[in-house]
């Protein structure tokens, strides 16, 4: 559905639309590679599939794969391991969801522990950081990585900034600083009007 919406949005703008699945693109000495479709979370997930992006340049391999939820699919885990990334950006498990099963949490944690052994720098993003307890999970990965002289960071830490976990604190922040009446009025406008009018911030 998102793909169809994207195609509709760019059909009159892009010169050409290329399906990236399992394709390589070359730019000078850099290879941009896309994976086979990977499960959006566990295997046979109803959420569909995502693609991982791999950049290879000057002997360095960078792999970005979000929404795999800490590689709870065995296929995804093996795929990442086989690519041998120097830098890996990966979405952690969505521990903030009540529906997230304990067995998937254990599987994700085990797989992430194995991945930090083989990855010089792992950057954890997305789902995991929506949980107020996320940093305890991240710290356990950091300790494991240190044993292998590797590193684990959040994006904030990678940029030399403090972790704020704004998404995890959403309800608390909302209660501390509720949106204005003007903003709530804008939220309740019909979609067609909202698209033409910036929100009052």
What are the pLDDT tens digits along the chain (201 aa)?
878 888 889 988 999 888 899 999 999 999 999 999 998 888 888 888 999 999 999 999 999 998 898 889 899 999 999 999 999 999 889 888 888 888 888 999 999 999 999 999 999 988 899 998 899 999 999 999 999 999 999 999 999 999 999 999 999 999 999 999 999 999 999 998 998 888 988
The reported pLDDT for the residue numbered 100 is 86
CATH number of 20-168: 3.60.15.10
Q: What per-residue confidence (pLDDT) applies to 83?
A: 95
Q: How far is CA 144 from CA 14, 29, 117, 122, 131, in A?
A: 45, 34, 7, 12, 21
Rounded Cα–Cα distance for residues 116 and 85 (Å): 10
Structure tokens at 182: 């003007």
DSSP 8-class letter at 128: G
Map residue 56 onto helix, strand or coil: strand
How high is the pLDDT of residue 43?
83
pTM of the model: 0.86
How far apart are alpha carbons 86 and 54 in whole angstroms? Answer: 11
Terminus-to-terminus CA distance in the chain, angstroms? Answer: 31
Residue 192 and residue 188: Cα distance in Å, rounded?
Answer: 11
The pLDDT, as a whole number, for residue 81 is 95
CA distance to 36, 55, 119, 150, 199, per residue, from 142 (Å): 29, 24, 12, 8, 40
């Amino acid at each position: 559905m998102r793909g169809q919406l994207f195609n509709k949005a760019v059909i009159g703008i892009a010169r050409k639309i290329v399906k990236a699945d399992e394709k390589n693109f070359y730019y000078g000495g850099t290879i941009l590679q896309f994976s086979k479709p990977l499960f959006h979370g566990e295997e046979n997930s109803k959420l569909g599939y995502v693609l991982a992006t791999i950049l290879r340049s000057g002997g360095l391999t960078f792999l970005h794969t979000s929404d795999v939820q800490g590689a709870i699919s065995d296929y995804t885990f093996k795929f990442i391991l086989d690519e041998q990334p120097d830098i890996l950006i990966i979405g952690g498990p969505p521990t903030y969801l009540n529906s997230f099963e304990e067995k998937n949490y254990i599987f994700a944690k085990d797989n992430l522990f194995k991945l930090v052994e083989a990855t010089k720098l792992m950057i954890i993003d997305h789902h995991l950081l929506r949980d107020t307890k996320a940093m305890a999970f991240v710290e356990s990965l950091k300790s494991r990585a240190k044993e292998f002289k590797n590193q684990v960071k959040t994006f904030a830490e990678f940029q030399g900034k403090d972790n704020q976990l704004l998404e995890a604190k959403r309800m608390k922040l909302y209660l501390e600083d509720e949106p204005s009446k003007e903003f709530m009025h804008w939220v309740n406008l019909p979609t067609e009007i909202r698209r033409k009018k910036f929100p009052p911030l």
